[in-house]
Amino acid sequence: MMKTISTVPIEGQKPGTSGLRKKTQVFMTPGYLENFIQSIWNGIGSVQGKTLVLGGDGRFFNTEAIQTIVKMAVAARAARLIIGQNGLLSTPAASHLIRLHGADGGIILSASHNPGGSEGDFGVKFNTANGGPAPESVTEAIYAASTTISEYEIAEIPDIDLSLSGKTRHMETEIELVDPVTDYATLMETLFDFDAIRALIAGGFRLRFDAMHAVTGPYAREILVNRLGAPDDCVVNATPLPDFGGGHPDPNPVWAHALMSEMMGDTAPDFGAASDGDGDRNMILGRGIYVTPSDSLAVIAANAHLAPGYAKGLAGVARSMPTSCALDRVAKARGMACFATPTGWKFFGNLLDSGKATLCGEESAGTGSDHIREKDGLWAVLMWLNILARKGVSVNQVMVDHWREFGRDYYSRHDYEEVDSEAANALITDLRAQLGSLPGQVFGPLTVARAEEFSYLDPVDGSLTQKQGLQIHFAEGARLVLRLSGTGTSGATLRVYMERHEARAEDLTRDAQDSLSDVIAAMQALTELKTRLNREGPDVVT
Residues that bind ligand VG1 (CB under 6 A): 17-18, 112-113, 276, 280-281, 320, 343-345, 362, 364, 366, 485-487, 495
> Which 3 state secondary structure label does DSSP give 486?
coil
Nearest to 107 by CA among 137, 145, 67: 67
How many CA atoms lie within 13 Å of 208's alpha carbon, on the beta-carbon side?
20
Nearer to Co ion, 210 or 278 (CB): 278
Q: Which residue is nearest to ligand VG1 (CB)?
A: 112
- Options 34, 57, 262, 278; binder of Co ion; rule CB under 5 A: 278
Indicate which of Co ion, ligand VG1, none lies near residue 22 (CB less than 5 to 8 Å, by partner kind).
none
What b/e sequence results for 261-276 when a residue is b if at least 16 CB atoms lie within 10 Å of its CB, and e otherwise?
ebbeeeebbbbbbbbb
CB of 344 to ligand VG1, least distance (A): 5
Indicate which of ligand VG1, Co ion, none lies near residue 487 (CB less than 5 to 8 Å, by partner kind).
ligand VG1
Q: Does 458 bind Co ion (CB under 5 A)?
A: no
Contact of 352 with 360, CB cutoff 8 Å: yes
| Separation between Cα atoms, residue 174 and residue 153, nearest integer Å | 18
CB of 42 to ligand VG1, least distance (A): 24
Whether 112 is a known active-site residue: answer: yes
Nearer to Co ion, 383 or 389 (CB): 383
Q: Which stretch binds Co ion (CB under 5 A): 105-113, 156-164, 253-261, 300-308?
A: 105-113
Nearer to ligand VG1, 271 or 345 (CB): 345
Q: Does 276 bind Co ion (CB under 5 A)?
A: yes
Indicate which of Co ion, ligand VG1, none lies near residue 495 (CB less than 5 to 8 Å, by partner kind).
ligand VG1
**Residue 532 phi, psi (nearest 5):** -70, -35
Q: Which stretch binds Co ion (CB under 5 A): 210-218, 244-252, 272-280, 490-498?
A: 272-280
Catalytic choice (90, 112, 324, 515): 112
- Helix, strand, coil content of the chain in percent (nearest 5): 35, 25, 35
- 233 to each of 286, 338, 380, 473, how far by Cα in Å? 18, 39, 20, 46
Nearest to 259 by CA among 273, 249, 245: 273
How many CA atoms lie within 13 Å of 205's alpha carbon, on the beta-carbon side?
24
Nearer to Co ion, 316 or 377 (CB): 377
| Separation between Cα atoms, residue 34 and residue 29, nearest integer Å | 10
Indicate which of Co ion, ligand VG1, none lies near residue 275 (CB less than 5 to 8 Å, by partner kind).
none
CB of 470 to ligand VG1, least distance (A): 14
Q: Does 471 bind Co ion (CB under 5 A)?
A: no
Nearest to 375 by CA among 323, 413, 453, 302: 323
Q: Does 57 bind Co ion (CB under 5 A)?
A: no
What b/e sequence results for 98-122 when a residue is b if at least 16 CB atoms lie within 10 Å of its CB, and e otherwise?
bbbbebbbbbbbbbbbbbbbeebbb
Q: Which residues partner with 178 through β-bridges?
A: 84
CB of 380 to Co ion, least distance (A): 12
Nearer to ligand VG1, 87 or 469 (CB): 469
Indicate which of ligand VG1, Co ion, none lies near residue 35 (CB less than 5 to 8 Å, by partner kind).
none
Indicate which of ligand VG1, Co ion, none lies near residue 80 (CB less than 5 to 8 Å, by partner kind).
none
- 471 to each of 292, 297, 540, how far by Cα in Å? 20, 21, 21
Q: Which stretch binds Co ion (CB under 5 A): 6-14, 194-202, 273-281, 483-491?
A: 273-281
CB of 157 to ligand VG1, least distance (A): 31
**Residue 184 phi, psi (nearest 5):** -65, -45
How many CA atoms lie within 13 Å of 372's alpha carbon, on the beta-carbon side?
32
What region does 212 belong to: left with phi over 0, alpha with psi -120 to 50, or beta?
left
CB of 410 to ligand VG1, least distance (A): 19
CB of 377 to Co ion, least distance (A): 8
Indicate which of ligand VG1, Co ion, none lies near residue 386 (CB less than 5 to 8 Å, by partner kind).
none
Question: Catalytic residue positions?
Answer: 112
Which positions lie near Co ion, rule CB under 5 A?
112, 276, 278, 280-281
